[in-house]
């Protein structure tokens, strides 16, 4: 619910208000990887074209991946953030790590398909 409300605010050029919705969650559950992943993904989507926000998103997602390298959502979300930052090798590495997990995550697979990340990385070449 918080994520949806934050996304709505960000879509209406109210990113700061969207971020403020996360503050109580972070205060209560700063060590909860679900909260960290959610915030990182929100920032990643809300910060397209804004390197500072994308770097912050990468930091949150990297923190989770360092603690749990097999966390599928963090790997996929960071792949999107890295691609947006122009780090195509990093994005490819995260997608390869996700695929090596051999987990079935229809939500993540649908996201990859609808946003075309795999094909964009293939078209970009090495």
pLDDT classification of 96: cutoffs 50, 70, 90:
very high
pLDDT at 87 over 90: yes
pLDDT, position 24:
85
Whether 3 shows a pLDDT value over 80: the answer reads no
State mean pLDDT over 36-46. 90
CA dist 49 and 37 (Å) reads 20
Q: What is the pLDDT of residues 6-18, one digit of tens each?
A: 878 877 788 788 8
Alpha-carbon distance of 109 to 50, in angstroms, equals: 26
pLDDT at 124: 87
**Sign for the pseudo-dihedral over CA of 82, 37, 111, 46:** negative
Cα 102 to chain center, whole Å? Answer: 20
pLDDT at residue 37, as a whole number: 93
Q: Domains in the chain and their CATH numbers?
A: 2-124 (1.25.40.10)
pTM of the entire structure?
Answer: 0.87
| Percent of the residues in the chain that have a pLDDT greater than 90, as a whole number | 59
H/E element, 72: helix 72-85
Considering 13-17, 86-90, 104-108, the range whose residues carry the highest mean pLDDT is 86-90
* Residues whose CB falls within 8 Å of the CB of residue 8, separated by 6 or more in sequence, listed in order: 18
Cβ-based neighbour number of residue 19 at 10 Å: 19
């Amino acid at each position: 619910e918080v994520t949806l409300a934050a996304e709505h605010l960000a879509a209406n050029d109210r990113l700061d208000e969207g971020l403020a919705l996360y503050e109580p969650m972070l205060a209560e559950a700063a060590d909860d990887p679900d909260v960290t992943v959610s915030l990182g993904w929100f920032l990643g989507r809300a910060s397209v074209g804004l390197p500072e926000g994308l770097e912050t998103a990468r930091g949150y997602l990297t923190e989770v991946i360092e603690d749990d390298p097999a966390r599928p959502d963090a790997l996929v979300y960071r792949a999107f953030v890295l691609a947006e930052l122009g780090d195509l090798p990093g994005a490819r590495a995260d997608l390869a790590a996700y695929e090596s997990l051999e987990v079935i995550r229809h939500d993540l697979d649908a996201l990859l398909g609808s946003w075309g990340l795999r094909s964009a990385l293939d078209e970009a070449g090495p």
